[in-house]
Amino acid sequence: MSEQSSTPAPVASDVTAPSPGSAPRVAVLGTGVMGAGMARNIAAAGLATTVWNRTRERAEPLADVATVASSAAEAVDGADVVVTMLYDLDSVESVVREVAPAMGGDAVWVQQSTVGVEGSDRLVALAEELGLTLVDAPVLGTRGPAEAGALVVLASGPDDARDRIAPVLDAVGSRTMWLGAAGAGSRLKMAANAWVLTVLEGVAESLRLTRELGLDPALFLEAVEGGALDAPYVQLKGGAMLAGDDEPSFALSGALKDADLILAAARGAGLDLTLVPGAREHLARAAEAGLGDRDMSASYRVD
């Protein structure tokens, strides 16, 4: 697990850290399915918010609550907290390298994209190289919880950053778990996402099996409803599968990307997973069938 103890001293800056009790100024880089809801909740908490997205049109709907920046560097100028919620490791790394010179020395970088174990280690090294204070803080949840401010935040990083970013994490999440040095959050995210894929594919398989055995697949959901085998996610995704409601809450292509990150994390730990490889192959077949931009529950449509 990577540490941040060797982080170089921040460069001098005219920007000073917010005084205790004052509201931090926040920049949100990435306003896609997750980032848009998070940014809106940060602004709703009374925090001055600037947003940026590589495709500006995806940031414009936030203009009623936030300042829409023309560039990532413009967005972070003067920010006390910089949130990255971008698609993958490469996009996070390239954007942070671009904006680092514009960030104040006291700013905290809150990295909330899903980048995996190797990716989080690379970003810890990047923060050390650039003299940035990094909190690795991926989230559990999809579009609905992001819009409701009900995500679970898996935070890891220096203790002295906690109070400074607490208003931001409180705005986007229902609770925050602090897990240790930066990188621990991304490690737990891999384990949690492995469970998500297991449940997703387990529900899809049980529904398909019920159907192919000549029964109404809705009977499976009815049979487990309210019992020890049930969970809100079972009914949520199972109901969406049967209704054909695949408006993306979390895109299937993103689930496939995350499956690869989980498998890479397992290989790095010397662990041979049993269920995730099958889930990954099924998601790949669904993506090849043209369903990558639909919700991950669309995997039910592919045998």
Question: Is residue 79 over pLDDT 50?
Answer: yes
Q: Do 166 and 202 fall within a single domain?
A: no
| Same domain, residue pair 43 and 141 | yes
pLDDT, mean over the chain: 93
C-alpha span between 181 and 1 (Å, rounded): 8
Residues 256-301: pLDDT tens digits? 999 999 999 999 999 999 999 999 999 999 999 999 999 999 999 9
Is 125 in the same domain as 80? yes
Q: Which domain holds residue 120?
A: 26-182
Percent of the chain residues past pLDDT 70, beyond the cut: 93
Average pLDDT over residues 16-23: 56
| End-to-end Cα separation, the chain, in angstroms | 39
- Confidence tier at 7 by pLDDT (50, 70, 90): very low
Residues 71 and 207 in one domain: no
Is residue 135 over pLDDT 90?
yes
Same domain, residue pair 161 and 272: no
Q: Are residues 81 and 175 in the same domain?
A: yes
Tens-digit pLDDT profile for residues 46-55 = 999 999 999 9
**22 pLDDT tier (thresholds 50, 70, 90):** confident
- Are residue 37 and residue 116 in the same domain, yes or no? yes
Token pair 């800056």 is at which residue? Answer: 13
- Using one digit for the tens of pLDDT, what is the confidence trace for 182-198? 999 999 999 999 999 99
pLDDT score recorded for residue 239: 98
CATH of the domain at 80: 3.40.50.720
263 falls within a domain? yes
Judge if 63 and 204 occupy the same domain. no
Q: Which of 153, 182, 211 is the last residue of a domain?
A: 182
Residue 84, pLDDT > 50, answer yes
- Residue 10 domain-assigned (yes or no): no
- The model's pLDDT over 199-242, given as tens digits with 9 standing for 90+, comes to 999 999 999 999 999 999 999 999 999 999 999 999 999 999 99
Q: Quick one: pLDDT at residue 21?
A: 55
One domain for residues 203 and 255: yes
Residue 201, both tokens = 């594919």
Strand partners, 110: 83, 135
Query: Can you give the pLDDT at residue 17?
Result: 41
Residues 65 and 149 in one domain: yes
Q: Are 157 and 136 in contact (CB under 8 A)?
A: yes
Among candidates 9, 13, 232, which has minimal Cα distance to 104? Answer: 13
Q: Which residues contact 293 (CB under 8 A, 6 or more apart)?
A: 248, 251, 252, 253
**How far is Cα 48 from Cα 265, in angstroms, rounded to an integer?**
37
Res. 13: pLDDT tops 90: no
Same domain, 203 and 93: no
